[in-house]
Structure 1
Amino acid sequence: MSETLVRTGPGTAMGDLMRRYWVPVLLASEIAEPDCPPVRVQILGEKLLAFRDSDGQPALIDEFCSHRGVSLYFGRNEENGIRCSYHGLKFDRNGNCVEVPSAPQACKHMGITAYPCIERAGIVWAYMGPKDRQPAPPDLEWCNLPESHVFVSKRLQESNYLQAMEGGIDTSHVSYVHRYEVDEDPMHQGTKALDYIKADGNVIFEIEKQPFGLTLFGRRNGEPDSYYWRVTQWLFPWYTLIPPFGDHSLAGHVWVPIDDHTCWAWSINFRPDRPLDEQELADLNAGKGIHCEYEEGGTFRPKANKDNDYLIDRQAQKEKRAYSGVFGFAMQDASLQESMGPIQDHSKEKLLPTDRAIVMARRMMYEAATALVPDTDPPAIDADQQRVRAAGVLLPRDQKPQEWAVIHLHDGKDQPIYSI
């Protein structure tokens, strides 16, 4: 099962499954203007090229010219197409070869792979699956908000997507690796939830299987007559929605394979109720909360990375300013997930009760991948199933959180935000 889960290239079971969904490819700002320079993109093991054509439409095509295999990255983005700099062949956003200067009659034979693209939430998404099974655009809440209500970043994670995503499913680690920094982080500080999380590290999970994935109900002691419930959502094939803190913004992640050894960790903060204010945007741009600072050069590689031991500060660890000695929520997680190796060896795991959601998610992903056939759709492809929220809430000790969630967290765009 493990080998199936971690392999996502063309022709693999998991790769075929993921290609049935709209795939976050790059930030729209990376191809900000018509006829801008093209950008190399590797997704699901495929080497591709993104550009914005003269009409302002985003495009994703094979990186390599069909003639002699030259990289089109060195081509000219002009007049609604990419022109190869070697022999002048030109390709439009649909992969059609529209010019072969030396043999015009050859155009119809020279096309290349191209994937349809859309833009949502400042992200360019591509559909890489069978043309006749293309789903509706993603309909998660943050995909449909005004641009001023959403902040999106991405970072390179040097591990397989699965162990990265499982960190988002495993919410019990918040009581440990993040415990000393949450009080200082501007996206989490000043909330009652922190008191409950730090006081009770013995999280009791109730997990509910859903048509879209899993709902995780993590129970901690709250007040004498209540429990504090953190309700996390995991949606096929790579989304997590994180329980909010106090009046801070809602948040989520998307974990998208670059290849089998690296992935893009997308991080999203959003406010359904209002635009993000200047201070929130300043903190998010500074890498606070679930975001990070980058190395110079525009590679989206974190400034704290494996080559510098994630800037670990042993003195801060000793003084209880950083539990692992690494600062920043994103890199606290990534440092530990990358330490497992590019692909974790699951045969050496000794899992605990708090890992039950991870086990369930693995099984569901495996079953969905191995059961997929050309004329069927995978789970959570229906937009209605994507309209869920995460929450943090105090409930009476005799109230079932599942019953509460059905009323308050599904189709939640007109619901209040539940946060402690």
Structure 2
Amino acid sequence: MSIKSDKLEGQKSSGGNVVSKKLIPYGGYYTSKVPGHDPELTETGPGTPMGEYMRAFWHPVCMSIELTDTPRFLKILGEELVAFRDGSGCIGVLHAHCVHRGASLEYGAIQERGIKCCYHGMVFDVDGSCLHVPFPKGEEKEAEKYACSIQQGAYKAVERNGLVFAYMGPPEEEPPFPEWEGDYTVLPGDELVPYSNFQHCNWLQVQDNAADNYHPTALHAGKNVVNGHYQGTTFDEVGAASMEVAPDMHFVPVQQGRSLACAGARRVDGDRLFVRVQHQVLPNLSLHAYTSEDGSKKKLFSRFHIVRWTVPVDDENSKMIGWRVMGPGIDTRGVGKKELVGYESIDFLEGQVAMRRPERFGDYKIEDLPPIPPNHREREHYKAAQYAPGDYEAIISQRPIAVHALENPTKFDAGLFQFRKMLRDAVRGTNPAASARSFADWFRENAGAPNSYCSGNVFDIPEGETVEEEVARRRKVTKQIVAILTESEQYKGAQRAAFVREKFETLEQSMKA
């Protein structure tokens, strides 16, 4: 054994388990070797275990506004694609390279029906069938025969509320499109506003962040911004001060291990307890309760504020793409800005996205920085990110693909590690309920609209008289909330909401006794 590996081994018990590790000051030499990434969970190309699992689900691939009078080149799950809307209004998602000679259809001409390759004029319909072959006059039969012999790779696509979704799995195994409670969770006057944000890293570390309910305590805390150099849409307004309180977390696999309920209890003040339940659904969906809750008023069973998929582009890039629910029903503080939600833009924390804009840095001024050479605007953005990093910086800086073998998790990381385990169980088949086929059957049983555990709640529950009593109180509440939501699975829509709110009221009263 080399000196280097011996230093890292630590002290072992007779059973072979590491029970302690020698910590060496200035010992970077002994930890400088970087192991490989975890291919089972991070690689999503064709034929990979995770890639094949993901292809069994519907995924958003772009925003509707990206479909213009020219084709939109995309890369999804490592595949080069083009998306377009033809003259008849049908949406096509095709393999980018023409099946004839490989020219990219991103340079094709959109037709009344289908798309025409720029190189030789082959025309393909949205299902991949060849509609036209430009053989010379008099060779129509040969052209027809050739057209019937080729087919462009194509995926079925649907459009919902400004997003384009594609199913990239075997066509004979297409699952129902998941509506997730349909329109019930969007109150009158509210709307689903689409957005898409590119992330320059592997999909899993972006998805991990959604299950990491602890990071706002540090990353989104105004007190941690260097010398008060705030970003545009500010810290301390994302959930106000209540989001800076370290939450007491309770993570529970639910719906037969198909999803994870992440319940976090934060003390607003001596009289109110804020409990936010995030819902993580295999393989890459997350449903988020109100992001700007200040806990000033009692609130029971508030629903979706963000519905988001983390879609792999390739193994080192991904997209956060989904909807922000906007309007007075969900945004009770009225802090949302619809005009900032869209393509490469979001209305909370500039650091959620890659494209920071200096004009939206609030009180921070470019002249406050050291001198910057001409044509070095990128340094302005980088310096601002160093002053006030957001999710984007924290996530992509974990390397293009995060190395799990180097992590040293704490108890508050339990959610993301639980979700990773659920992914492995699904991919390996050790949880049959989470298989793609079982998922599809479950969607059908729920008419394509299963219930979500996502909810935001502010209870009038007083603080415990001692630290021990307060900890026990918070943990009892979070466990009971998840149990009530599980019990409510037997109901739908308004009936379910009434059941949950009644049970939550009873829970609140029991904690005051």
* TM-score class, shorter: 0.7 to 0.9
**Residues 209-266 of structure 1, C-alpha deviation per residue, up to 9 Å, x if partnerless?**
1123100111233444664322111011111122313499812321000000000112
Q: Residue 303 of structure 1 is aligned with which of 356, 367, 382?
A: 356
Aligned to 2:220: 178
Q: Residue 265 of structure 1 is aligned with which of 317, 320, 333?
A: 320
Deviates more, 1:404-413 or 1:254-263: 404-413
Cα separation, partners in 2 of 1:90 and 1:283, compared to 1, 3 Å? closer
Contact map agreement 1:140 1:388 (CA 8 A) in 2:
no
**Residues 357-395 of structure 1, C-alpha deviation per residue, up to 9 Å, x if partnerless?**
111111111111122899933489613435442323336
Cα separation, partners in 2 of 1:195 and 1:224, compared to 1, 3 Å? same
Cα separation, partners in 2 of 1:389 and 1:261, compared to 1, 3 Å? same
Contact map agreement 1:304 1:310 (CA 8 A) in 2:
no
Contact map agreement 2:235 2:349 (CA 8 A) in 1:
no
- State the secondary structure of the residue aligned to 1:138: coil
| Residues 1:393 and 2:458 are matched in the alignment | yes
Aligned to 1:234: 280
Contact map agreement 1:234 1:241 (CA 8 A) in 2:
yes
Once residues 389 and 362 of structure 1 are traced to their aligned partners in structure 2, the CA distance between those partners, rounded to angstroms, is 19
Letter aligned with residue 483 of structure 2 = E
Letter aligned with residue 249 of structure 2 = F
Once residues 152 and 310 of structure 1 are traced to their aligned partners in structure 2, the CA distance between those partners, rounded to angstroms, is 29
Aligned to 1:334: 392
- State the secondary structure of the residue aligned to 1:365: helix
- State the secondary structure of the residue aligned to 1:101: coil
**Residues 316-346 of structure 1, C-alpha deviation per residue, up to 9 Å, x if partnerless?**
xxxxxx9x6236xxxx001111111110111
- State the secondary structure of the residue aligned to 2:338: helix
Cα separation, partners in 2 of 1:164 and 1:412, compared to 1, 3 Å? farther
Q: Tell me the CA shift for residue 292 of structure 1.
A: 6.9
Contact map agreement 1:100 1:107 (CA 8 A) in 2:
yes
Q: Tell me the CA shift for residue 313 of structure 1.
A: 4.6
Deviates more, 1:106-115 or 1:282-291: 282-291
Aligned to 1:123: 163
Once residues 163 and 411 of structure 1 are traced to their aligned partners in structure 2, the CA distance between those partners, rounded to angstroms, is 34
Deviates more, 1:235-244 or 1:173-182: 173-182
Q: Tell me the CA shift for residue 196 of structure 1.
A: 3.2
Once residues 141 and 205 of structure 1 are traced to their aligned partners in structure 2, the CA distance between those partners, rounded to angstroms, is 25
Once residues 226 and 275 of structure 1 are traced to their aligned partners in structure 2, the CA distance between those partners, rounded to angstroms, is 19
TM-score, with structure 2 as normaliser = 0.67
Cα separation, partners in 2 of 1:378 and 1:184, compared to 1, 3 Å? same
* Unaligned ranges ≥5, structure 1: 295-300, 315-321
Contact map agreement 1:255 1:264 (CA 8 A) in 2:
yes
| Residues 1:349 and 2:429 are matched in the alignment | no
Contact map agreement 1:17 1:378 (CA 8 A) in 2:
no
Aligned to 2:362: none
Q: Tell me the CA shift for residue 148 of structure 1.
A: 6.5
Report how many aligned residue pairs link the two structures: 394
Letter aligned with residue 255 of structure 1 = T
Q: Residue 99 of structure 1 is aligned with which of 92, 113, 132?
A: 132
Q: Tell me the CA shift for residue 29 of structure 1.
A: 1.3
Once residues 381 and 363 of structure 1 are traced to their aligned partners in structure 2, the CA distance between those partners, rounded to angstroms, is 21
Q: Tell me the CA shift for residue 121 of structure 1.
A: 2.0
Identity %: 24
**Residues 252-307 of structure 1, C-alpha deviation per residue, up to 9 Å, x if partnerless?**
3210000000001125211587699997323546742167798xxxxxx52379x9
- State the secondary structure of the residue aligned to 1:156: strand
- State the secondary structure of the residue aligned to 2:222: coil
Larger radius of gyration: 2
TM-score, with structure 1 as normaliser = 0.81
- State the secondary structure of the residue aligned to 1:79: coil
Deviates more, 1:400-409 or 1:140-149: 140-149
| Residues 1:28 and 2:64 are matched in the alignment | yes
Deviates more, 1:9-18 or 1:180-189: 180-189
Once residues 193 and 270 of structure 2 are traced to their aligned partners in structure 1, the CA distance between those partners, rounded to angstroms, is 37
* Unaligned ranges ≥5, structure 2: 1-36, 136-141, 295-301, 359-376, 462-472, 502-513
Once residues 126 and 347 of structure 1 are traced to their aligned partners in structure 2, the CA distance between those partners, rounded to angstroms, is 33
